[in-house]
């Protein structure tokens, strides 16, 4: 079932903060924008909405982390190899998250969809839960504040905002791939 922003707003108005938490786990950014609009309408207090959205976002991150942490080891060896999760790759991943885990998680928070790959990767790499939650909290708080503010001031345009969040994410991913490709080419050509 595809949740439209109009459906989300109607559900949130009817069920309150009780429904905000699970919806924010499932469809975080647009639900947070819709919640900002409901705050503007005077139906919910800003503080409780912010706390609920931050905790829900962190809960979703923790679920993805857990899938990576336990899921990679539960897969048969043959499947792990096909997914590129052999012992060498997992060691490289662990090294990356040891050195740049915080930076990677903060950058992930700036996008809408990279978390689907990065958060389980942090779990599969064995990143300790404390630093994982700390860095995610540092990225989640300003992101939730920005999305709530966006909903508060421009919430009546929630359908357009949802489209722009999607386009913005695609633009960030394309830019990251391009920068990564240039860096790879440069290293391969001039460093090696």
Task: Using pLDDT thresholds of 50, 70 and 90, give the confidence band for residue 2.
Answer: low
Q: State if pTM tops 0.75.
A: no
Whole-number pLDDT of residue 161? 56
C-beta neighbour count of 174 within 10 angstroms:
10
**Each residue's pLDDT tens digit, 74-125:** 777 777 777 777 777 778 878 888 888 888 898 888 776 677 778 888 888 8
């Amino acid at each position: 079932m595809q949740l439209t922003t109009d459906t989300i707003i109607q559900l949130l108005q009817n069920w309150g903060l009780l429904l905000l938490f699970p919806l924010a786990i499932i469809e975080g950014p647009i639900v947070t924008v819709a919640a900002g609009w409901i705050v503007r309408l005077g139906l919910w207090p800003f503080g409780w909405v912010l706390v609920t959205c931050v905790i829900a976002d962190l809960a979703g991150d923790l679920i993805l982390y857990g899938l990576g942490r336990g899921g990679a080891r539960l897969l048969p060896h043959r499947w792990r190899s096909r997914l590129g999760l052999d012992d060498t790759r997992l060691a490289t991943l662990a090294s990356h998250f040891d050195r740049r885990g915080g930076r990677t998680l903060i950058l992930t928070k700036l996008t809408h969809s990279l978390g689907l790959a990065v958060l389980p990767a942090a779990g599969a790499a064995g990143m300790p839960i404390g630093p994982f939650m700390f860095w995610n909290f540092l990225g989640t708080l300003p992101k939730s504040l920005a999305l709530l503010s966006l909903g508060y001031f421009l919430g009546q345009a929630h359908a357009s905002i949802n489209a722009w969040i999607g386009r913005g994410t695609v633009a960030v991913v394309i830019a990251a791939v391009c920068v990564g490709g240039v860096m790879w080419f440069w290293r391969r050509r001039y460093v090696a």
